[in-house]
Amino acid sequence: MGNIEEIKFQSFQVDALSVRSYLLFTDMAIDAASWAGKYLQDCLKYQDNARVILATGTTQIKFLEALIKFGGIDWSRIVFFHLDEYLGIEANHIGSFRRYLRDRVENVLKSATFHYIKGDAIQPLEECDRYTQILKEKPIDLCLLGIGENGHLAFNEPSIANFNDTKAIKLVKLDNSTRQQQVNQGYFSQLDAVPQYAFTLTIPTICAAKKILCMANGDRKSLIIKEMLKGEISPKCPASVLRLQSHATLFLDADAANLL
Ligand code: GLP
């Protein structure tokens, strides 16, 4: 790992999407955090607040650590949202995305504002309406993304992704491959323990952000990255929608990029 000034990457374009590929995952995370940090500093020069949608998952961990360390951001002026949450899950559950973000970001930054999707809301459709209203109060400045092993963005699974969704957030049934991914990553003990349904921000909500920063690393993502960048642009590979977004940048490490 080098100093931030020495980090090297290859950059190329796939349709409208900018792609950066790094030898090392750590370098990718640090450079992506610097990119996001500078962008948020810029936003705060011209606006009172910046609104950011956070992603969760293993890919984000090093990035979030580096972003928190980046410095020069007045976190009290940052308003955070997140991409998705399991239906029926308590905020304290180790697999809950609220828990993930509270432990790694909210408890560290303290002054930032967080709007969480209440996964265990008794009236899930009313929770969708509540979250839609807060999301729509002002434009989103930055949306962070990971990519599921099946190509999902947030929980927009290949079976249900709709590039023209009219909803901002919706309830979806999770593919078994996605549920298995959560077990493999250590967030749940077994497949039966992973909820079958979840809330997800939709593809149009993600694409409406002013900037999109998507990251993928490791061998387990190489096949889907190949499909995303070389296959057809289709809801069957939800992440392929990013090829239509000139305001999106995809950060890859060498393992994720190794089939390109
Ligand atoms: C999860 C989440 C996504 C996340 C993606 C990647 O299932 N729903 O929001 O970005 O899959 O996860 P990971 O980084 O662990 O591969």
Per residue in 132-170, pLDDT (tens digit) is 999 999 999 999 999 999 999 999 999 999 999 999 999
Could you give the C-alpha distances from 191 to 42, 76, 184, in angstroms and in order?
43, 39, 9
Give the pLDDT score at 6.
79
Split at pLDDT 50, 70, 90, the class of 90 is very high
Each residue's pLDDT tens digit, 60-86 = 999 999 999 998 999 999 999 999 999
**Distance, CA 216 to ligand 1 centroid (Å)?**
9
Residue linked to tokens 């099946």:
150
Split at pLDDT 50, 70, 90, the class of 236 is very high
Ligand 1 neighbour 146 (Cβ under 6 A): yes
pLDDT mean over 174-182 = 93
Residue nearest to atom 3 of ligand 1 (CA): 154
Split at pLDDT 50, 70, 90, the class of 3 is low
DSSP string for residues in 22-91: ESSHHHHHHHHHHHHHHHHHHHHHH-S-EEEEEP-STTHHHHHHHHHHH----GGGEEEEESEEETT--T
Ligand 1 neighbour 180 (Cβ under 6 A): no
pLDDT mean over 225-237 = 98
Ligand 1 neighbour 178 (Cβ under 6 A): yes
Q: In the 8-state DSSP scheme, what is residue 153?
A: B
Cβ atoms of residues 133 and 120 within 8 Å:
no
SS3 29: helix
Asked if residue 1 has pLDDT above 60, the reply is no
Q: Is 157 a catalytic residue?
A: yes
- The minimum-distance atom of ligand 1 relative to the CA of 185 is 15
